[in-house]
Chain A
Amino acid sequence: MSTLSKFFTSRWGPIITGVIIGVLAPVLVKLGNPGNMGICVACFTRDIAGALGLQRAATVQYIRPEIIGLVLGALVAAFLFREFKPRAGSAPLVRFVLGIFAMIGALVFLGCPWRAWLRLSAGDWNAIAGIVGLIAGIGLGIVFLQMGFSLGRSRPASPAMGWVMPVVMIGLFALLVLAPMFGRDANGAPIGPIFFSTTGPGSQHAPLFIALAVGLAIGFLAQRSRFCTIGGVRDLILMRDTYLFFGIVALVVAAFVTNLALGQFNPGFEKQAIAHTDAIWNFGGMVLAGLAFTLAGGCPGRQLILSGEGDGDAAVFWLGMLVGAGFAHNFNLASSAAGPSPYGPAAVIVGLVVCVAIGLTMRERIAQAVFGTASGE
């Protein structure tokens, strides 16, 4: 076990995780997931929000087993390697707000950082503007980190707190399998409480247990290797540390090869799956998402992994994303294949103002308190 642990925390850990995600995500597309959306934490969280009725866009409603698997896979790994540590208290309300705006930015682009790289590896050149925006957002977050930005310390919490998110995921799995329906309205449409799309991306999904198994495997591996697509870029710029960055490179290369092999590599800008061609707001949406993820400490996949380890603050961030998905669709902020919605750009600007305010105001206090001296040996 110790040898395995050392392997996954070695340079190879993020690379192996990136390769596994890069191979399995296009395979999930082949098995039924939406185009270039083998795994997308933002889109899949949005689908879960739809399934729960938090947003009522009829084409994006499904309880995605991959999300459940990511949390529970991380939980298993954390337990096996004694890293399950319930903790909370690091500015949870701010993290909730960051989660809301991260989701809005991601849905203006149409994808989380994982999907941005997956879209690129499938030949969707619209992803380039999004990735440039993502890097710009991370760069802005780094400026705040260098100025002393901090969300403060978390504290150890009771074991019950650490179990909340895994239990929520088990509950979602039960709702996925049981799919309770209380009735239909006069037009024959389901009245909930759970909604599943019959057309559109929400109706496209790989077989349930395969999707769950992939989520579990990636959750396990990502917990061990600390795989993070925000951390990969952030640490490279901030600390010249390539440990996580090579995980992103591995993901892109593996996904590119797999897409080629499966006949899913379609280079170009036009007619890409669940994408639009507006470069400005592909860029702008991901500046917002990149900034919000950086201030919160990691990409949405990483937040799910942390929540499986018992990190209540990361769980609150994901809940913010879930609520953000409700806002994104109920307020008509999310983009579609036709382009940005009329209100999406304004929401991105509001989000940037809020995130910059957070970046500027939550700083110094902790940084000044961190250093001290202790009686040495």
Chain B
Amino acid sequence: MDTPTLDARGLSCPQPAFLAKQKLAELKSGTLQVLLDSATSRDNVTRIARNAGWTIVEEQDAGTFRLVLTK
């Protein structure tokens, strides 16, 4: 099964959070994987997703934050 992925690494504010919000609204439910490379974007996407009722699992590997958002 393919997991929709938003690779927002290297993008500056507000793009990571804004793109994630758009994608979450489009999906409505399911799973979205978001790749980020800054703590600020990680915090912003986490906050946006949590406020929209998504659960978040975070992993960090070699400078990349991988958020798996599920609803």
Contacts and interface: CB of A to CB of B under 8 A. Distances in A.
A226 interface: yes
A77 to B, nearest CB: 11
Given A87-B10, A376-B31, A150 B15 contact: yes
Contacts, number: 85
A243 B13 CA distance: 14
B3 A313 contact: no
Contacts of B11: 150, 153, 366, 370
Contacts of B38: 83, 85
A227 B17 CA distance: 16
Given A226-B40, A370-B19, A90 B10 contact: yes
Interface in A314-351: none
B57 to A, nearest CB: 10
Interface stretch (A98-106, A230-238, A246-254): A230-238
A365 interface: no
Given A9-B43, A83-B39, A374-B2, A297 B12 contact: yes
A372 interface: yes
Contacts of A83: 38-39
A239 B39 contact: no
Contacts of A226: 40, 43
Contacts of B23: 371
Interface residues of A, number: 37
Contact of A145 (B2, B6, B7, B18): B18
A239 B17 contact: yes
A171 B21 CA distance: 42
A79 to B, nearest CB: 13
A374 B5 CA distance: 6
A3 interface: no
Nearest to A376: B3
Contacts of B18: 145, 238-239
A145 B1 contact: no
A182 B50 CA distance: 60
B33 A367 contact: no
A367 B12 CA distance: 12
A292 B6 CA distance: 26
B1 A376 contact: yes
Contact of A370 (B8, B17, B31, B48): B8
A37 to B, nearest CB: 27
A85 B14 contact: no
Given A238-B14, A241-B44, A313-B12, 5 more contacts: A226-B40, A235-B14, A241-B51, A370-B11, A373-B2
6 contacts: A87-B37, A90-B12, A238-B14, A239-B17, A374-B2, A376-B1
Interface of B: 1-15, 17-19, 21, 23, 31, 33, 37-40, 43-44, 47-48, 51, 63
